[in-house]
């Protein structure tokens, strides 16, 4: 199977995921602006998930560019990643409709975590396929975001059972980490960093 | 990331948006032709949004053709545009189901305005990436439609709170401005223009 | 705009249309095989529409292959065709859920007719763009199916108000005309023809 | 019609099928983790169908790679396969929502069987198009999975009426047969085989 194929199929699935999430933004019964009020948390969680899927789409391409050819395990690792991404609409809608509820916020974190794990597994498959002097392995060595993100999720998931708001704040923080261009953040961390 | 990639992903998202809008055209309970009557405004707002998404798809391609390469900010400006376009199905359905209501008509205008702003931001990112002698910058200089459209939306949004019908008329007018080939309109404006 | 672009976008929209039609096949409440009985007409109208969209997808490609380049009017004629195809899920579901009702069967025919008209308009745009010695124009000259189909629809639409079953039979007949390879039909018509 | 075209359209349809299946995972009313309990069987049948569609996508590409050119019958055999795959979301949801019910489990098997038959028909069309010394024909000669799978489905379908659980176990088994890389299984069969 050609790499272009795998990319095109993944693009298709990701394009559908990012778009059907909006179907959870149900048309309100009322006609006043106040009818939109209960939709605000649904809208905000849609924005957050849109950004996450956008980040995955972006990183997925850079990852596949590093792959020379497509192996069977790589193909299934990729489908495994798409599987967890496909659960974003469900997790987003449940959290959005129950803004301050504990379980939906924890489940959202579990889906984020599993997607991160699936991404890491795909990365490993590509590194293995590149053999000893894998360029991707070296590039990933300095990938602090990829290492820090799962720790944030692992912290946020149990925390959601006590304080869903803080967990949601952590999910936003991780998204911002990936959104803001690297150099600026790294400098900021160097100056004021923990 | 290659430009072909960005175009293919954007095409996928736009194809899904333009198609899922039709899901809001709910199958009526009755079986007579009169059962279709309440669907007429839903259908008309579907037609309007279909034309708008078609115009965006068309212009989006011409815009990306001007880009030599894809930068990080350009990629996110593009996702930002897709985000606002993804709200078309919601805004279309709410306005369609409440034809003469003020708030839905105003919100529809807000989504149109934000999509126009997002389009302009993407344009700016491409101009910046082209450097000093940007050909796109020169081309955009004479783009009176791009400059007039947001003014129409800005007028229509507050107006919707008094007269939704006039606002909807303005949305149709802007769509027609983009649909009718330029030269004919420009000549008409030269002859009978304001 | 390149032709490949127009084809890819059309393919995307058609792929979505052919797939979301199945969403109207609602999961039944019961768990016995008898629970499937009310779904049979919905299923049959899904099969019919699947075949129609498949025929359009097939013919659309042959049509675009004849086009040398993409013009503005061609692009909008193509979107106009996609618009009518996008109404297939609605018309299919309404007719499927009200098998023997007159209006849904007539409306289904109207959508078929408008799609055929839109296809013809697109064909004309491509012929015009090819200039005087248009090869497509010659090829279309012998296209008896394209000429006969609208006549069948025009007959079936008013007929549906008296006998929906006969109209539905005509829709099936037209689909079969397109499905069966030409030569065999033409020979059959030559031997036993009307 | 080019082969790339057929592949891209099939990819699009399969990408949509694999993604809209998740829409059946309805957002629960409650906000506790216990609200997820009734979703467990729906989730498991989603996982199973996701894997099946993934297997079909994978095999479909290898199959089309063997085709030199696209013929009319091949195109319709391909649409026929996509038709049965498009019924996966329906069959998955019905079985998922009625875990231990007989009819939904049998119907799921029928859809699996028909997809396998459609795949085989497409394979035959490609073999025929390759003429006498078809390489695909030779390759398929040793394809024991393709021959065994329909037998499993044919066993599972009537069995579902007595013991849906065993049928579902057989569906999982067939999926595993295809997932596990060949050589390992073949060695296992050679050592401990029946």
Contact C16 D12 (CB under 8 A): yes
Interface test with D, best of A103, A115, A158 (most D CBs within 10 A): A103
Q: What mean pLDDT, rounded, does chain C reach?
A: 88
Q: What is the pLDDT of residues A112-132, one digit of tens each?
A: 999 999 999 999 898 888 877
Contact B160, B102 (CB under 8 A): yes
Q: What is the pLDDT at residue D188?
A: 56
Residues ≥6 apart with Cβ < 8 Å to D154: D113
Q: What is the CA radius of gyration of chain D?
A: 18
Give the CA distances from residue D140 to residues D63, D145, D146, in Å, rounded to whole numbers and listed in that order: 10, 10, 8
Q: What is the pLDDT at residue A147?
A: 85
Residue with tokens 């037609």: B47
Stretch B133-161: mean pLDDT: 85
In chain D, whose CA is at the least distance from the CA of C66?
A: D1
Q: What is the ipTM of this complex?
A: 0.89
Q: What is the pLDDT of residues C87-116, one digit of tens each?
A: 999 999 999 999 879 999 999 999 999 999
- Tell me the C-alpha distance between B30 and C123, whole Å: 37
Q: What is the pLDDT of residues C39-58, one digit of tens each?
A: 999 999 999 999 999 999 98
Alpha helices in A67-101 (DSSP H): 72-86, 88-97
Q: What is the pLDDT at residue B188?
A: 55
Chains A and B form CB pairs within 8 A to the count of 65
Interface test with D, best of C54, C65, C96, C180 (most D CBs within 10 A): C54
Give the CA distances from residue A48 to residues A60, A176, B9, D48, in Å, rounded to whole numbers and listed in that order: 18, 10, 19, 29
Contact A103 D33 (CB under 8 A): yes
Total-model pTM: 0.90
B178 contacts in chain C (CB < 8 Å): none
Contact D23 A23 (CB under 8 A): yes
Option in C8, C16, C18 nearest D8 (CB):
C8
Cβ-count burial D58-87 (b if 16+ within 10 Å, e if not): bbbbebbebbeebeebbbbbbbbbbbbbbb
Stretch C60-83: mean pLDDT: 89
Contact B22 C98 (CB under 8 A): no
Residue with tokens 């900010």: B73
């Amino acid at each position: 199977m050609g790499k272009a194929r795998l990319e095109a199929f993944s693009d298709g699935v990701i394009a559908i995921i990012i778009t059907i999430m909006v179907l959870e933004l149900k048309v309100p019964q009322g006609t006043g602006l106040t009818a939109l009020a209960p939709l605000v948390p649904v809208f905000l969680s849609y924005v957050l998930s849109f950004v996450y899927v956008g980040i995955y789409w972006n990183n997925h391409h850079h990852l596949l560019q590093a792959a020379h050819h497509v192996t069977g395990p790589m193909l299934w690792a990729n489908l495994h990643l798409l599987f967890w991404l496909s659960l974003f609409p469900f997790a987003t809608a449940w959290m959005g409709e129950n803004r301050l509820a504990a379980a939906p916020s924890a489940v959202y974190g579990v889906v984020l975590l599993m997607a991160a794990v699936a991404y890491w597994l795909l990365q490993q498959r590509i590194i293995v396929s590149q053999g000893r002097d894998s360029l991707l392995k070296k590039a990933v060595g300095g990938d602090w975001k990829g290492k820090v993100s799962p720790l944030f999720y692992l912290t946020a998931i149990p925390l959601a059972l006590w304080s869903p708001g803080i967990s949601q704040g952590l999910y936003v923080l991780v998204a911002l980490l990936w959104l803001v261009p690297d150099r600026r953040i790294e400098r900021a961390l160097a100056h004021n960093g923990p």
